[in-house]
Amino acid sequence: MPTTDREDAVELGLGTGEARISGSLDWLWARLRDKPGPRVLDCGPVRESTVNVLVERGAKLYVADLLSLVRRTNGSLWDYTGKVPLFRTDRLLSELPMIPPGSLSIALCWQLLDLLPREALVDVVHRIYSYLEPSGVLFFLLREPCLAKGADTTWYLQTLTKLGAQVGGQKPFPYPPLSNREMERLIPTGMVKTVLTRSGLREVLAVRWNPTPRSIEAWAR
């Protein structure tokens, strides 16, 4: 069962056009400061700013724009042959590049889970989670119930610890928001760290590890 840690609210500045320091990314990169050449997966539209930031850090970058694929309305991710439409999770996962299992330091999943039907979440999270090295991290942004629109927002890194957002036409989210408990249940084993913001979003870090009293103490520092 994953262990959860929560922190106080921070301001992300959604829709202001101004980059804000991310409490979770600040925490994450501080713990990777001694790691050379981290491998990073970006699951959103690739932005020059993100590439520049990660290359300067010496990272190897994988790109799989799952977010744009999910946002399209051409029906390529749905099977309509039966009485009930079925989401084609296998089609979505086929867009992932060849990544050796247990090799990723970070997967930037952004708001992917806010855009997927519930029946796809386990397979998607578990597949990306399988790419993580020990202590590797999935990074998510999850909406709160008060945030009804913003499904077309594109997130990117302005610095290692600052998030930027390109806000689109304020498209409504297609599914109810995930609760913290639902998020915890999606993670096979490890730690889930949630940072609340004042912009109707939660920053969520899911770390691949097996908690022990010593490691939990180190996590809290």
Total structural domains within the chain: 1
CATH number, position 187: 3.40.50.150
Distance CA 176, CA 121 (A): 13
DSSP the chain: --EEEEEEEE---TTTS--EE-HHHHHHHHHTTT-SS-EEEE-S---HHHHHHHHHTT-EEEE--HHHHHH--SSTTEE-SSSS-EE-HHHHHTTS----TT-EEEEEEETGGGGS-HHHHHHHHHHHHHTEEEEEEEEEEEE-TT--B-TT-EEEEEETTEEEEE--S-PBPSSPPPPHHHHHHHSSSSEEEEEEESSSEEEEEEE-S---HHHHHHHH-
Nearest Cα residue to 12 out of 152, 123, 156, 132? 156
- Mean pLDDT, to the nearest integer, of 9-15? 44
The separation between CA 9 and the C-alpha centre of its own chain, rounded to angstroms, equals 18
Q: Residue 85 sits in which domain range?
A: 3-220
Q: Tell me: the pLDDT tens digits for 98-137?
A: 999 999 999 999 999 999 999 999 999 999 999 999 999 9
Q: Tell me: the pLDDT tens digits for 55-109?
A: 999 999 999 999 999 998 767 899 999 899 999 999 999 999 999 999 999 999 9
Q: Does residue 13 surpass a pLDDT of 50?
A: no
Chain mean pLDDT for the chain = 87
Q: pTM of the predicted model, to two decimals?
A: 0.87
Residue, of 156 and 75, whose pLDDT is higher: 156
pLDDT at 8: 42
Q: Does residue 221 surpass a pLDDT of 70?
A: no
